[in-house]
Amino acid sequence: MQDPDRAKGYLKLADTQPSILLEGENPRLIDEWQMAPVLWDAVRFDVDKRGGFGHFILTGSAVPKDGTTMHTGTERISRLLMRPMSLWESKESTGQVSLKDLFEGKHNVHGENKLTIKDIGKILCRGGWPEAVTNENASCMVARNYVDSVVNLDVQRVDGVERNPTRVRALLRSYARNISTMTTYTTILNDVNTNDTTFSDTTMNSYMNALRRIFVIEDTPAWKPSLRSKTGIRSSTKQQFVDPSIATAVMHLDEQSILNDFEYFGFLFESLVTRDLRIYSQTLDGEIYYYHDRLDDGRWAAMEVKLGNEEIEDGAKHLCDLRDRVDTSKVGEPSFLMVITGGQFAYRRNDGVLIVPIGCLRP
């Protein structure tokens, strides 16, 4: 629908007789359908007439504009959120430890991670973009080209509101600096206002919402379990991109510069783990909240992300402490406790905590 040579004709057809665009062999794929939201209802109506499954695939890089009236599509249209490729999909994880198996009580894990710290640094810059994964020559340039497109085109096109590319890039840079943290929006606003004093909180919210709608930002919400004590868990969101390579691209970092800043490497590594856990848990109808992975059927597991082996002991202690604080009479016992690392081996500790390298995990 955004083909420069055909879009005008397609959009005119969508306005006058959308059924014509649905003609052809099935399954018929309509890309960037949100540019003509009327197609959603046209598909729903056509499916009602035909019956059966698998007639159409509607793909889009953004959600429709505000104020668009559409039928919900219930019982006719299924929604699937597409994400970048996980390490299992890019064949860089051995897949010796299955998240599904862990939730089913199979905790005698073992495996060996083939990824070195240098490999992980390269993956953080490359990201899970299919073109970058399948073409080594493209590498970091795919993520950088993606960021340029977001800054100069996509964030403008999502709702027709003109936005300053310099401000968009400044906002992304602040987000990148604070990735995998619970930094407040006030801090991000102050970052941007260092060079732009007219950037108000209302304007920033508009920019942030646009970035969410084109699936650039995907913050991690907090889990709020019942606790045995009155001590609360922080409830602000954790700042995350849909892929850690967005952060490295907007900061113009390469593999070596990441390795030279091991603290920031750790934040990026957590973002990588979050990306993969979102992909793996999605196959189990699960959601990611910061500090744990929870499934809609009531099962939950607590996970810590620790890049280096020296931090594993602290991670395991934090998990055991959290288990003791949660009121398990209300939410049940955790299915498992796991420290996800950049280390070499997967194993189970004497205290029951699982140690699993990200390069051994799969759905």
Cα–Cα dist 39/53, whole Å: 17
pLDDT at 167 over 60: yes
Average pLDDT over residues 129-133: 94
Residue closest to 62 by CA, chosen among 157, 131, 166? 157
Q: How confident is the model at residue 113 (pLDDT cuts 50, 70, 90)?
A: very high
pLDDT score, position 231: 47
pLDDT score, position 99: 96
pLDDT score, position 229: 54
pLDDT at 165 over 70: yes
pLDDT at 138 over 60: yes
pLDDT score, position 66: 61
Please name the residue that has the structure tokens 């429709």.
Answer: 64
pLDDT at 62 over 90: no
* DSSP class of 20: G
pLDDT, the chain, mean: 89
Cα–Cα dist 14/8, whole Å: 10
pLDDT score, position 226: 65
pTM score, two decimals? 0.87
pLDDT score, position 76: 81
Collapsed DSSP state (helix, strand, coil) of residue 76 = coil
Q: pLDDT (tens digit, 9 = 90+) per residue, 329-349?
A: 888 899 999 999 999 999 999
Residues constituting the chain: 363
Q: pLDDT (tens digit, 9 = 90+) per residue, 8-60?
A: 888 888 889 999 999 999 999 999 998 888 999 999 999 988 888 899 999 98
Q: Does residue 225 have a cis bond before it (omega within 30 degrees)?
A: no
